Amino acid sequence: MFTTTISASFSPTGMKNTSNRQSPPVFRVSMQVFPPFLPKEMEKVKDPFARRLASRIERLPVELSISKNCIMSSCVKPVIQNTANPLVLLHGFDSSCLEWRYTLPLLEQAGYETWAIDILGWGFSDLEKLPLCNVESKRDHLYQFWKSYIRRPMLLVGPSLGAAVAIDFAINHPEAVDKLILIDASVYAEGTGSLSRLPKSVAYAAVSVLKSLPLRLFATYLTYNSLSFDTCLDWTRIGRLHCILDWWDEATVDFMNSGGYNVTAQIRQILKKTLIIWGEDDQIIDSKLGVQLHCELPNAMIRQIPNCGHYPHVEKPDVVTKLIRDFIESENTPLPVFSKPEEKVLVRQLE
């Protein structure tokens, strides 16, 4: 798919002014190729970083051990390969690897081998032969992907519900995980709750509302801190792109009816060195839960980012990149011990 795209000469989110609002970018026009499996609505997206990352998405074959289905699985492969353990970026609930449009390039610039993987049932994988999209299948898909293409202990990064995915995976496949990085972690919900008991007809009606533009626009407004309307609309388009794929409804209903992730009881079993990152202005999950998570994880440190909402890797990619880099480079440094459970460390915006 050949399209005209725009690239820009501004920092990833343009949020370095004191008002936290985006500065107007300076655009230039160039040609870009999107993979043919992306929805044609990708052409409406203006964000140059999303467009650039979208052009890198590809599908790799992954054979599930549970169902024996071979899934052409969407991901962004690294441009750098090295001997160190790679970073593997997951995404949040009902999202895609495009979440990492700002932070992934910065991690690559810092010299890290970085993968962004779409969780089974979300993102842009080919699910024409739809497998089960419950927790067990999602875990199996990630493991088979790791076993086929990565094959080294990874630094697994999970934002929002992706943190529950990461914890569940680390418990079941500890050999595949070196360290964890959890961002505004959604790990205290009891799965999908009452939604798992909905009749299928009602569940399909519910997911139809879930992908509606007005609801997604409102969710984007709550998720991020101080967005202009134009940016909010564009980020909403990015966030719902995968919902347009034919199998999205069925995959989402299947996940909903399966009960979803419930990892609360597993948190204290995680012995991996863990970095917790939290946006102080998160309107989705109370930052007190970040402090609770820090207290319950035996080997964790926490960093909170001021003037930042639920997805710091989108709003503050430079800060998140620095935190990840510092975490990786402190390999032999003991984690700090906090004297009070409520004590927190604030990370000021980079100048």
Catalytic residue positions, numbered:
160, 282, 310
| Residues composing the chain | 351
* Residue for token pair 């080919």: 126
What is the DSSP code (8-state) at residue 234?
Answer: H
Q: Which residues make Cβ contacts (< 8 Å) with residue 245, sequence separation at least 6? A: 39, 124, 127
- Cα–Cα distances in Å, from 202 out to 12, 86, 197, 323, 351? 40, 42, 10, 43, 49
CB count within 10 Å of CB 33 equals 11
* Distance from the first to the final alpha carbon of the chain: 39
| Residues 6 or more apart in contact with residue 93 via CB below 8 angstroms | 122, 160, 161, 162, 186
Q: How far is residue 20 from each of residues 181, 236, 309, 313, measured CA to CA in Å?
A: 25, 19, 11, 15
What sign for the dihedral angle of Cα 296, 302, 306, 311? Answer: negative
**275: which 2 tokens?**
């970095």
CA dist 231 and 342 (Å) reads 35
Distance CA 89, CA 35 (A): 20
And the tokens for 291?
């402090």
Residue that the structure tokens 């610039």 belong to: 109
Task: Show the DSSP H helices in the chain as ranges.
Answer: 48-54, 103-109, 135-145, 161-172, 200-210, 213-223, 229-240, 248-258, 287-296, 312-315, 317-329
DSSP 108-132: HHTT--EEEEPPTTSTT-B-SS---
Asked whether 114 and 78 are in contact (CB, 8 A), the reply is yes
